[in-house]
Structure 1
């Protein structure tokens, strides 16, 4: 938990207009952080947290380098520094095997999930290197698909495997500057992206069957992210997996 007797830490949350990003932003504000909420649509951002001095809304397309640079510039202008980036913006992308999806769908998924995450991480690193005291923490939102895919999810699965590589590279290259990076891989928290998997009628399994899969409350995922964010600078979590109890992940495939 952020120590409110000290200057509040500053967290940038991408994809903050819905789902896990919204839950993390709300919990961060409640725990005393100054929070910069980034997302494509300002009305969704405005619905994420109550107005007040501890929240800054910045409509941002994370696939655009200029927009990401503006996001971090506004964060520093308002709060003076950036202590944590929750690199969360992402899309599930097209459903299909590699021979079934369009090039446009593939490109859109990688643009948001990989290039967007890279651009935000790059700007966070620049900011964290330049500030005094130097350093900070990046938490990438991966997925259990970074470990094992769902059927018909090639674009999303490839993008989340790429996030694992990004996380490890950021952790290695950030060491000299007091910048740590970890990854949270979440399975079946109750968000809109899970609705896209049609969990009410059944999600496609590796054997071709449909199965209604269990979910867990999104605030529990947010609580885990805030735990990672609140670690002392001397500690980091490289990768953490949190799933709904009983979901078909172990042994998937």
Structure 2
């Protein structure tokens, strides 16, 4: 990637958690980022935090719905908010059309939007509607965004770009009562491998980051107790989500001739290695 050219990224699920942390880190280091998520107010909070990080100042209001947070003309490090439900094809098409029309190209998709689904529900009691919601967000959404990004990266000049999928350590090993989430994350690994192969002729690299217990709202319950494979409840350690964000940025900023195919980043003492 040409370090002198403005780098354009799309981050899905950018309104909270890992998506927010990655978006802030990218803007802080000079990327232009389209923030995608279902809640415009949360996206605007992310945009404000990103600009504060870039400027080294307290967060400021970024304006009305859909507004942008931008530095002075000619500088990198900017964000724009695009309300998107990744499970809806029309929303995804509108997101990538907006990026193409405004920025002219796309260098990175961080395919991050996801949901765990109803927690603590035994497999035999999992409602089909809940299963479909998790699959629609985690897998269908990843497919739709990856396909839209792939098409744009294939057609643009210079050709190519990078897709990074958020896989989770559940792409390797499940937690109890997580059939829908675990199934989608295993499937995402297959999507990552297929994109890596199919993207070769077009300089489209694809990698996956599998994350365990980053400190976000989703993992807050880990601090007080999470169900273990032996049926016991036990607190689990977490790690700073900023460490995840820096790992994603490292993957993103490699030249397209190099790729981190799979990276696992987890709280060192969490019960994952040897889980069960």
Provide the TM-score with structure 1 as the length reference. Answer: 0.96
Match of 2:20 among 22, 33, 36: 22
- State whether structure 2 residue 90 is matched by structure 1 residue 66: yes
Q: Deviations over 1:194-218 (max 9, x none)?
A: 12xx223210000011111000111
Q: Contact 2:164/2:206 (CA < 8 Å) preserved in 1? A: yes
Aligned to 1:12: 10
Aligned to 1:214: 237
Structure 1 unaligned regions, length at least 5: none
Aligned to 2:66: none
Aligned to 2:211: 186
Question: What is the DSSP-based 3-state SS (H/G/I as helix, E as strand, rest coil) of the residue aligned with 1:180?
Answer: strand
Aligned to 1:244: 267
Aligned to 1:57: 81
Aligned partners of 2:122, 2:206: CA distance in 1, in Å? 31
- State whether structure 2 residue 154 is matched by structure 1 residue 129: yes
Question: What is the DSSP-based 3-state SS (H/G/I as helix, E as strand, rest coil) of the residue aligned with 2:150?
Answer: helix
Match of 1:223 among 227, 246, 264: 246
Match of 1:46 among 44, 47, 55: 44
- State whether structure 2 residue 110 is matched by structure 1 residue 92: no
Match of 1:163 among 185, 188, 191: 188
Aligned to 1:149: 174
Aligned to 2:62: none
Aligned to 2:105: 81
Aligned to 1:31: 29
Structure 2 unaligned regions, length at least 5: 49-68, 72-77
- When the two chains are superposed, the root-mean-square deviation of aligned CA atoms in Å is 1.2
Aligned partners of 1:16, 1:74: CA distance in 2, in Å? 16
Question: What is the DSSP-based 3-state SS (H/G/I as helix, E as strand, rest coil) of the residue aligned with 1:183?
Answer: strand
Aligned partners of 1:206, 1:2: CA distance in 2, in Å? 47
Question: What is the DSSP-based 3-state SS (H/G/I as helix, E as strand, rest coil) of the residue aligned with 1:251?
Answer: coil
Runs of 4+ in 1 over 3 A off after TM superposition: none
* Residues 203/127 of structure 1: CA separation in 2 closer, same or farther (3 Å cut): same
Q: Contact 1:2/1:33 (CA < 8 Å) preserved in 2? A: no
Q: Does 200-209 or 180-189 show the bigger shift? A: 200-209
Q: Contact 1:94/1:155 (CA < 8 Å) preserved in 2? A: no
Aligned partners of 1:80, 1:30: CA distance in 2, in Å? 21
Provide the TM-score with structure 2 as the length reference. Answer: 0.88
Aligned to 2:53: none
Q: Contact 1:2/1:230 (CA < 8 Å) preserved in 2? A: no
* Residues 93/103 of structure 1: CA separation in 2 closer, same or farther (3 Å cut): same
Question: What is the DSSP-based 3-state SS (H/G/I as helix, E as strand, rest coil) of the residue aligned with 2:223?
Answer: coil
Aligned partners of 1:141, 1:97: CA distance in 2, in Å? 25
